[in-house]
Amino acid sequence: MRSCTQFYIDGQWVDPAIPATADVINPATEAVSGTISLGSAQDVDAAVAAARRAFDAWSHSSVKDRLDLLRAIQAVYARRMQELGEAVSEEMGAPLSLGCGFQVGLGAGHLQTVIEVLETFRFEEQKGPTLIVREPIGVCGLITPWNWPLNQVTVKVFPALATGCTMVLKPPQLAPYSAQILAEIMHEAGTPAGVFNMVQGQGSVIGTALSRHRDVDMISFTGSEPVGIQITKDAADTVKRVGLELGGKSAWVILDDAAMAENVAAATAGMMVNAGQTCSAGSRLLVPRARLDEALAAARSACEGVTVGDPHADVAMGPVVSKAQWTIIQDYIQKGLDEGATLVAGGPGRPEGLTRGFYVKPTVFACTNDAVIAREEIFGPVLVIIAYDDIDDAVAIANDSVFGLGGYVSGQDRDTAIAVARRLRTGAVWVNGGFDFHAPFGGYKHSGNGREWGEHGFHEYLEIKSIVG
């Protein structure tokens, strides 16, 4: 049993102002795996006050001092990677191979990237008679989700730290363990008191208190569109900056060539990674209409090859994070059936042989782009396949969405694939795979605003001052 009953405030582990706890449920077993304290507005006040006190000194710290701290954090993080991965697996159900692999690797990668950017980042620049100075924005409230817990925490905490900001982190209530370990890492590495603070609890309480707080200068939030909208409203009265990375319904365009079936299979398997709980997942797969039957067969075969089960076993997919999420996904699967979408693979209920745990069958539908399951973010292992007539039609379907976070194009002709990518109204497009920690990440339209990752992530936490003359 794990215990997350204290908060990290002003360089110390402290008890909550008002004692209140909640159970944390292991999604693979449905058993209680630990306890978390639920913070209050009083805890937020204490954490923000500590961050405000620490801001003057940390905002004037040297680049060398910040690099020294980041490298010290990196050393402790490397030593505790296995422990972090096991925590991720236990809290949100990722297979150990994913938790101890890519989940933890993302945090390590963002930390290394921040170090690389900070080594050469220009905080001052002379433009004619004007000195342009980039200064830390102040105290930041960082609110993160449960689906990629280390990725979403590290992509906020480390750039804020590198740019001279102080912060209060509000980790996800459903996945608190990895954030607790990260706070221990920050402490062991020697982070100055008040620079990094963490309060666990309910988003409706802690997130609201941070968003409305007059001594918080910025909110960075990753999560659902409705919550992002509410945070923006809550922050409006104090005119603070709000950075949002919200939902997605990303299109994956498969070009008509000899690799079409192979690319469909790869896209289908890719959708099921992390049980489909990825905001930029390619959840709308667009295929040539003339080859729809071939595409459906390839998707069915790939889906049936996705092993589901105990995260400690050799499986490709574990459970989804909670009973509530499982129920939402089941409702969407039933909605697809009720709408008349063609069920290609999977369907309602748990996979065969799994009677306990929040497991979902990897599911594929064929439908049109006006179906509810093609319009709304399901956030589970449910893929929809949509036929297109030609490239113009594919681009029109891909862009016919309120979201614009991610996009994908797969095809043997790279020039054609790049041309399609240029036409997609979305913040990032992956062409034939690839990965880059320095590539800016963020959304168009209802998928949010601002950019994280790499150098662009630094600018989120900086104000610009002009010194003229």
Q: How far apart are alpha carbons 203 and 9 in whole angstroms?
A: 18
* Residue (of 455, 432, 453, 458) closest to 443 by Cα position: 453
Catalytic residue among 225, 245, 377, 452: 245
Q: Is residue 190 within 8 Å of residue 213, measured between CB atoms?
A: no
Kindly compute the dihedral angle of the four CA atoms of residues 75, 79, 84, 85, in this order, to the nearest 10 degrees: 120
Q: Is 124 known to be catalytic?
A: no
| Bridge partners, residue 465, by sequence | 133
CA angle 191, 170, 173 (to 5 degrees): 130
Write b or e for each residue in 294-333: b if 16 or more Cβ atoms lie within 10 A of its Cβ, otherwise e: ebbebbbebbeebebbbbeeebbbbbbbbeebbeebbebb
* Residue 131, number of CB atoms within 10 A of its CB: 14
Longest dimension (CA), the chain: 74
Residues 6+ apart with CB under 8 A from 236: none
| φ, ψ for residue 401, nearest 5 deg | -160, 145
Q: How far apart are alpha carbons 132 and 129 in whole angstroms?
A: 10
Residue 394, CA atoms < 13 Å, CB-side half-sphere: 27
| φ, ψ for residue 464, nearest 5 deg | -115, 125
Residues catalogued as catalytic: 245
